[in-house]
């Protein structure tokens, strides 16, 4: 083993490379803190972005704060996977946490939206490795058959963050100052203590064997991937404002297509040293499952985007209340992911879970498509719980299938590829579903107003609100900011809310058909027996076999 090899964990028990449950849980604590950073950041920002943009006088450019983060996190994800296969997981994970913390501190002291966008890009560089490397490290430590039990903890962190994030974000965004610092700045500074503890735990306890792979870093592939993905991410954020067929949008499509062609050509020429080796796509399980990750990402992010809009616009919930109302989905994810993990560990079978899960997700989407303005909240929450069960059955098992299929030396790049395809699917899904929503909402609202134009109560309310009547008559209703609904007469607001509810139903319906595509695809997945060896043990076995081969030849 080379000089760059990390120290082996002391007191390793049992078979070579096998860690005790206590050792795994100690390392897992550090990994989960890293995952918590990324998960909380996403959900906190969702409820605090508007306030931050107000404070920095940049509402019109706030989308670039999100875009900058998405660009760097998406592009860096496969880089972390490949670099960790070459240099080892520990240094790359420590680098990811450090970059995220540096970006967090800088963001906390930004004085303009342009500065904040730049610092969020630094945060994204770290975020790209937090989730993918944590899952790759877990794959190094635990066999596929046992891994699903531990992956449930990652799902628990994400689920908990979806509830805590809006609460924390709403608290800091609403506070003028906290400990003498502007409240909104703590949206970023709150990451610092969590990240420091994570750094200490990972630095002290994550000591696993690693043999450095003498590969070149695929800089050309990284550049080509960036050329392909950056235009996609920009058009996803700006397409509705620019127009999907505008010259700027067409330029983005063209640059992205050229980048994709260049990426394939570069990866083909780089062979095993490629950022994403094309030989992996010759493996049916790897290629099909990443296709599933992409399609599922489209449907899943469509649902995740539409539910808060329904709760906050149609039902009038605050971001904090919206997070709390989503508790049934979180509970469903936790119960299903933990339960399926235990069953996979006992039986060694996993295909039945994503098959069932995708069926449940499809059914949930079609049920969501039936909810409206007057739907009792308890019914919506029941559907949320059902959708959560479907997600919990799918997400970890699809990753498990990929990790079980690829050679141990490719564990990092395989894990990051799953994150990458799901992220790209989510980006596409968010752009497509937002486009669908805002392309139909005007007509739906117009239809709702037409249905009440002779209603005496509506006409009376309209007479009492001449300014709104004038706005309605001139067609000047601004749907980019729906805060006016909070103070509008409920009788006048009802047609607008009905139009939004029906438009969101359309999004759910399309998402249901997308989920059905994934449900059909999953039946073609060939279930392979789950290995009972961890990534470290598989690498050790491969090295022993390679060393024995020359001896056998003599």
- Asked whether 140 and 535 are in contact (CB, 8 A), the reply is yes
CA distance 344 to 281: 26
pLDDT digits (tens, 9 = 90+) for 74-87: 888 888 888 888 88
**Band of the pLDDT at 379, cuts 50, 70, 90?**
very high
Sign of CA dihedral 336, 309, 256, 84: negative
Comparing C-alpha atoms, which of 235, 314, 326, 322 is closest to residue 503? Answer: 314
The pLDDT score that the predictor gives to residue 386 is 94
Paired tokens of 513: 């058909």
CA distance 211 to 498: 60
The pLDDT score that the predictor gives to residue 539 is 64
The pLDDT score that the predictor gives to residue 4 is 39
CA distance 527 to 199: 37
The pLDDT score that the predictor gives to residue 337 is 85
CA distance 97 to 125: 10
Paired tokens of 423: 């992220």
Q: Is 90 exceeded by the pLDDT of residue 245?
A: no
Residue for token digits 């590829």? Answer: 417
* Termini Cα distance of the chain: 24
Comparing C-alpha atoms, which of 423, 158, 432, 132 is closest to residue 294? Answer: 423
- Asked whether 129 and 113 are in contact (CB, 8 A), the reply is no
At a CB cut-off of 8 Å and minimum separation 6, what does 379 contact?
Answer: 371
The pLDDT score that the predictor gives to residue 14 is 44
Strand pairing class (181-182; 177-178): antiparallel
- Return the DSSP state at 533: S
CB atoms within 10 A of CB 532: 12
Phi and psi at residue 181, to the nearest 5° = -120, 145
pLDDT digits (tens, 9 = 90+) for 167-223: 777 777 777 777 778 777 888 888 888 889 888 888 888 776 666 666 677 788 888
**Band of the pLDDT at 554, cuts 50, 70, 90?**
low
CA distance 187 to 169: 6
- Return the DSSP state at 72: H
**Band of the pLDDT at 257, cuts 50, 70, 90?**
very high
Flag the least confident range among 16-30, 305-319, 362-376: 16-30
The pLDDT score that the predictor gives to residue 544 is 64
Q: Rounded mean pLDDT of 94-119?
A: 90
pLDDT digits (tens, 9 = 90+) for 217-244: 778 888 888 898 888 878 876 777 777 7
Q: Where are the beta strands (DSSP E) in 420-506?
A: none
CA distance 150 to 341: 8
Give me the chain's average pLDDT, please.
81
CA distance 477 to 485: 11
Beta bridge partners of 178: 181
CA distance 511 to 387: 12
CA distance 499 to 491: 14
Q: Which helix (H) or strand (E) holds 177?
A: strand 177-178
Half-sphere exposure (Cβ direction) of 378: Cα atoms closer than 13 Å: 0
Q: Is 50 exceeded by the pLDDT of residue 461?
A: yes
Flag the least confident range among 43-57, 144-158, 289-303: 43-57
**Band of the pLDDT at 520, cuts 50, 70, 90?**
very high
Residue for token digits 């939206």? Answer: 113
**Band of the pLDDT at 139, cuts 50, 70, 90?**
confident
State CA 86 to chain mean position distance. Answer: 25
Q: Which helix (H) or strand (E) holds 110?
A: none
- Asked whether 105 and 192 are in contact (CB, 8 A), the reply is yes
pLDDT digits (tens, 9 = 90+) for 347-366: 888 899 999 999 999 999 99
What dihedral angle (degrees, nearest 10) is formed by the CA atoms of 119, 124, 129, 135? 130
Q: Is 80 exceeded by the pLDDT of residue 114?
A: yes
At 109 the three-state DSSP class reads coil
Q: Is 90 exceeded by the pLDDT of residue 38?
A: no
At a CB cut-off of 8 Å and minimum separation 6, what does 143 contact?
Answer: 530, 531, 532, 533, 534, 537
Beta bridge partners of 182: 177
**Band of the pLDDT at 370, cuts 50, 70, 90?**
very high
Return the higher-pLDDT residue of 176 and 367: 367
- Return the DSSP state at 268: H
């Amino acid at each position: 083993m080379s000089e760059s090899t990390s120290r082996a964990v002391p007191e390793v028990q049992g078979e070579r490379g096998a860690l005790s449950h206590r050792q795994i849980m100690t390392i897992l604590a550090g990994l989960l803190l890293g995952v918590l950073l990324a998960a909380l950041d996403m959900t906190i920002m969702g409820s605090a972005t508007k306030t931050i943009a107000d404070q920095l006088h940049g509402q019109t450019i706030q989308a670039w704060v999100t875009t900058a983060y998405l660009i760097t996190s998406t592009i860096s994800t496969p880089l972390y996977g490949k670099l960790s296969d070459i240099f080892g997981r520990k240094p790359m994970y420590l680098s990811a946490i450090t970059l995220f913390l540096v970006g967090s501190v800088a963001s906390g002291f930004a004085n303009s939206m342009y500065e904040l966008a730049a610092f969020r890009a630094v945060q994204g560089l770290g975020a790209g490795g937090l989730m993918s490397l944590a899952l790759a490290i877990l794959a190094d430590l635990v066999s596929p058959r046992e891994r699903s039990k531990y992956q449930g903890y990652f799902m628990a962190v994400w689920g908990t963050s979806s509830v805590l994030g809006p609460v924390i974000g709403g608290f800091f965004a609403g506070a003028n100052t906290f400990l003498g610092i502007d409240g909104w700045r703590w949206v970023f500074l709150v990451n610092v203590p969590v990240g420091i503890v994570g750094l200490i735990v990972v630095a002290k306890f994550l000591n696993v064997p690693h043999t450095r792979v003498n590969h070149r870093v695929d800089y050309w592939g990284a550049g080509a991937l960036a050329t392909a993905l950056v235009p996609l991410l920009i058009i996803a954020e700006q397409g509705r404002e620019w127009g999907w067929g505008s010259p700027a949008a067409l330029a983005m499509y063209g640059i992205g297509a050229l980048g994709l062609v260049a990426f394939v050509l570069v990866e083909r020429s780089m062979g095993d040293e490629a950022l994403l080796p094309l030989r992996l796509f010759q493996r049916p399980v790897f290629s099909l499952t990443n296709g599933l990750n992409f399609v599922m990402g489209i449907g899943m992010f469509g649902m995740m985007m539409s539910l808060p809009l329904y709760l906050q616009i149609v039902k009038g919930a605050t971001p904090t209340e919206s997070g709390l109302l989503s508790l049934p989905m979180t509970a469903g994810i936790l119960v299903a992911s933990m339960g399926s993990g235990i069953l996979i560990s006992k039986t060694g079978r996993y295909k039945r879970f994503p098959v069932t899960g995708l069926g449940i997700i499809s059914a949930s989407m079609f049920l969501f498509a039936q909810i409206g303005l007057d739907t009792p909240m308890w019914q919506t929450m029941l559907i949320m719980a059902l959708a959560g069960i479907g997600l919990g059955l799918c997400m970890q098992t699809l990753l498990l299938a990929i990790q079980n299929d690829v050679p141990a030396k490719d564990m990092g790049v395989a894990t990051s590829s799953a994150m990458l395809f799901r992220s790209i699917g989510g980006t596409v899904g968010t752009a497509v579903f937002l486009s669908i929503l805002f392309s139909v909402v005007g007509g739906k609202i117009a239809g709702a107003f037409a249905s009440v134009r002779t209603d005496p109560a509506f006409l009376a309310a309209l007479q009492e609100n001449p300014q709104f009547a004038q706005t309605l008559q001139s067609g000047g209703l601004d749907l980019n900011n729906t805060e006016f609904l909070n103070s509008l007469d409920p009788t006048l607001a009802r047609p607008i809310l009905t139009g939004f509810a029906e438009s969101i139903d359309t999004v759910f319906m399309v998402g249901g058909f997308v989920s059905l595509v994934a449900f059909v695809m999953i039946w073609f997945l060939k279930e392979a027996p789950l290995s009972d060896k961890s990534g470290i043990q598989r690498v050790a076995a491969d090295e022993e076999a390679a060393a024995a081969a020359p001896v056998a030849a003599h």
